[in-house]
Structure 1
Amino acid sequence: MKKLGIHSFVWTGGTTQEDLEGAMKKSHDLGYGLIEFPRLDPKKFDVNWLAKRLQDYGLRVVVTMGLPLDCDVSSEDPAVVKRGEALLAEAISITRDLGGSKLGGIIFSAHTKYQSMPTQKGWDNSVAALARAADIGKAAGVSMNLEVVNRFESNLLNTTAQGLAFIEQSGSDNIFLHLDTFHMNIEEADPVQALRTAGKKLGYFHIGESNRGFLGSGVINFSAIFDALLEIDYQDWITFESFSTEVVDKDLSITCAIWRNTWTDNVEVARLAKAYIEARMGESARKAITARTV
């Protein structure tokens, strides 16, 4: 398993053609096989051009997003939920047109620090909306992947167990979990056990350090994480995500509380991340082989 990707916000907070080209080139040059783009407004970039350039670079693509408050499918307001569903449908179309097969992120609620408790009606609205979006996605060849995030970025899904309950209630076979070590480190009692619990419902995986910076510079036990991924036979994409005020997308930086430089050289952080991930994956594989050796 060596499907390694990188989030475009390591490279740029912009969405101009020049910004996107630079992000793809750097990802390709460092040997990443996938680039993750946040939802891109089709009015601000050329979808066909980007799809062609992704092919030219031999890069796969995942699209992720966080819903804005006025499109929050976990709202109790039917008009807000309807707008959210329309936005999800648009994102599915863009993902398909770029050649992608996964839409991930906080697609089940608004990406914000809520000032209220979640409600059962809001939960039910979100489940129903995602079930309908998953049907649209299935017809387009795009899976829906719920990014389980920490309490400061959503009030709806903060743990793997909650995500699995959401999927079960939806009744959909096209909704999966999008887990992230940064968020798991905050919310899960045991991230390794959470991965075991997710099992085959894990559709997409983010690797990020506890301080959002260089892998290995924080407190996350990545050796145990990779052991667990091997144990559940996860064969899909692992994407490195890191944020610093060196590269700023204003909305995301504020929502995710990126207040300081965790790095200044994005090429260095990306190069070392790939080497770090490959090293930990290799260690886990060797341990598994040794354990089975008579």
Structure 2
Amino acid sequence: MTNPIGVHALVWVGDTSPSALSEAVARTKTAGYDLLELSLHDAKQLDTAAARAELQAAGIGVACSRGLAFDADVSSTDPAVVDRGAQLLVDSLTTTRELGATILTGALYSALGKYSAPLSDAGRANVVRVLRELAAEAAGQGMTLGLEICNRYETHVINTAHDALRLADDIGADNVVIHLDTYHMNIEEDDLVRPVYEVGDRLGYVHIGENHRGYLGSGHLDFGAFFHALADIRYTGPITFESFSSAVVSPGLSSDLAVWRNLWSDGADLAAHARSFIAGQLAASRPR
């Protein structure tokens, strides 16, 4: 298999404190994953030097993700709010680099939450300007930005592959890639196949999640078709399992993500199942 298989740290722990990070790294290694994704929602707790050393010692790659907040939202029309969001992104890029990661992805373009009105032209212009500047800084450090496509209840900036491609075109930077997530695709796209073909070689990161964010294969998503589409476009980038349960996720982030129930309580069993499921899908979708 050429695709690194990753797992989101929130499968294991609810924050990025030193003890939680150590636990996430150890569990990721034990479960046989290649990559650990860290959410930077509480990056102030993160000891980047220690985390990098632990990840390297375990032989595990790392990717970073985040969404913004309503008081630090680059899609706002309030200059002060946009400036706070831009600084948060710059700080997050620095943290990502210090961890040894080369990709910062997620909802880098807005707050993570339900908006009450469509995106304004002025707000979109702010997104393009800020991300163009961030992409230039990232390129100077050999890093990539991912635009994760999220559903309408979590952002009003990009909800479909078409939206994301148009935004990436307007940013106009080669180091801005598209991030597909099957959980969000299930809500917004017509199917799980056409968006993969539409994005094509601009796909840079993938989240695998069931329609209810529980055990893979326990919902109704057509993962077989999705993985065959990935094989068709010869996608070789990371495929990261993402699942949330209120048993693990911190209360604040649970509210942001509307995680109101325990879809699982045993992260180790969940992650072992997901690792096997993804590997099986990759093997089954390989051209014969």
Normalising by structure 1, what TM-score? Answer: 0.95
Alpha carbons 1:244, 1:261 under 8 Å: kept: yes
Query: For residue 201 of structure 1, what is the amino acid of its counterpart?
Result: R
Alpha carbons 2:18, 2:45 under 8 Å: kept: no
Give 3-state SS (helix, strand or coil) of 1:71's partner. coil
Alpha carbons 2:16, 2:43 under 8 Å: kept: no
Report the alpha carbon displacement of residue 17 of structure 1 after superposing the two structures with TM: 1.1
Report the alpha carbon displacement of residue 40 of structure 1 after superposing the two structures with TM: 5.7
* 2:268 matched residue in structure 1: 267
* 1:169 matched residue in structure 2: 170
Taking the aligned partners of 1:217 and 1:97, their CA distance within structure 2 comes to 37
Whether 2:140 is the aligned partner of 1:143: answer no
Q: How does 1:156-235 map to 2 (within 5 A)?
A: 156-235=157-236
Stretch deviating more after TM superposition (44-53 or 150-159): 44-53
Query: For residue 176 of structure 1, what is the amino acid of its counterpart?
Result: V
Taking the aligned partners of 1:43 and 1:146, their CA distance within structure 2 comes to 23
Report the alpha carbon displacement of residue 37 of structure 1 after superposing the two structures with TM: 0.4
Report the alpha carbon displacement of residue 45 of structure 1 after superposing the two structures with TM: 2.9
Report the alpha carbon displacement of residue 53 of structure 1 after superposing the two structures with TM: 0.6
Report the alpha carbon displacement of residue 174 of structure 1 after superposing the two structures with TM: 1.4
Report the alpha carbon displacement of residue 74 of structure 1 after superposing the two structures with TM: 0.6
Taking the aligned partners of 2:44 and 2:170, their CA distance within structure 1 comes to 35
Query: For residue 212 of structure 2, what is the amino acid of its counterpart?
Result: N
Report the alpha carbon displacement of residue 116 of structure 1 after superposing the two structures with TM: 1.6
Unaligned runs of 5+ in 2: none
Whether 2:56 is the aligned partner of 1:55: answer yes
- Structure 1 runs (4+) deviating above 6 angstroms are none
Alpha carbons 1:167, 1:176 under 8 Å: kept: yes
Query: For residue 249 of structure 2, what is the amino acid of its counterpart?
Result: V
User: For residues 52-75 of structure 1, what are the alpha-carbon distances to aligned partners after superposition, in whole Å with 9 as ceiling and x for unaligned?
Assistant: 111011111111001011111111
Query: For residue 95 of structure 1, what is the amino acid of its counterpart?
Result: T
User: For residues 188-239 of structure 1, what are the alpha-carbon distances to aligned partners after superposition, in whole Å with 9 as ceiling and x for unaligned?
Assistant: 0122000100111111100000010000000110000000000111101000
Taking the aligned partners of 2:154 and 2:183, their CA distance within structure 1 comes to 12
Taking the aligned partners of 1:96 and 1:19, their CA distance within structure 2 comes to 20
Q: How does 1:18-57 map to 2 (within 5 A)?
A: 18-39=19-40, 41=42, 43-57=44-58
Question: Among the aligned pairs, what percent are the same residue?
Answer: 40
Report the alpha carbon displacement of residue 138 of structure 1 after superposing the two structures with TM: 0.9
User: For residues 93-126 of structure 1, what are the alpha-carbon distances to aligned partners after superposition, in whole Å with 9 as ceiling and x for unaligned?
Assistant: 1111110000001001111111122111111110
Alpha carbons 2:147, 2:178 under 8 Å: kept: yes
Taking the aligned partners of 1:183 and 1:118, their CA distance within structure 2 comes to 19
After superposition, the Cα gap between the structure-2 partners of 1:259 and 1:42, relative to the gap in structure 1 and judged at 3 Å, is: closer
After superposition, the Cα gap between the structure-2 partners of 1:225 and 1:26, relative to the gap in structure 1 and judged at 3 Å, is: same
* 1:14 matched residue in structure 2: 15
Unaligned runs of 5+ in 1: 290-294
Equivalenced residues, count: 287
Taking the aligned partners of 2:260 and 2:124, their CA distance within structure 1 comes to 31
Query: For residue 96 of structure 1, what is the amino acid of its counterpart?
Result: R
Taking the aligned partners of 1:197 and 1:65, their CA distance within structure 2 comes to 25
Q: How much is the aligned-residue C-alpha RMSD, in angstroms?
A: 1.1
* 1:115 matched residue in structure 2: 116
Taking the aligned partners of 1:244 and 1:82, their CA distance within structure 2 comes to 33
Taking the aligned partners of 2:81 and 2:169, their CA distance within structure 1 comes to 24
* 2:280 matched residue in structure 1: 279
Report the alpha carbon displacement of residue 251 of structure 1 after superposing the two structures with TM: 2.2
Taking the aligned partners of 1:198 and 1:164, their CA distance within structure 2 comes to 7
* 2:92 matched residue in structure 1: 91
Normalising by structure 2, what TM-score? Answer: 0.97
* 1:155 matched residue in structure 2: 156
Query: For residue 105 of structure 1, what is the amino acid of its counterpart?
Result: G
Alpha carbons 1:92, 1:140 under 8 Å: kept: no
Query: For residue 44 of structure 1, what is the amino acid of its counterpart?
Result: Q
After superposition, the Cα gap between the structure-2 partners of 1:223 and 1:65, relative to the gap in structure 1 and judged at 3 Å, is: same
Alpha carbons 2:192, 2:222 under 8 Å: kept: no
Alpha carbons 2:193, 2:229 under 8 Å: kept: yes
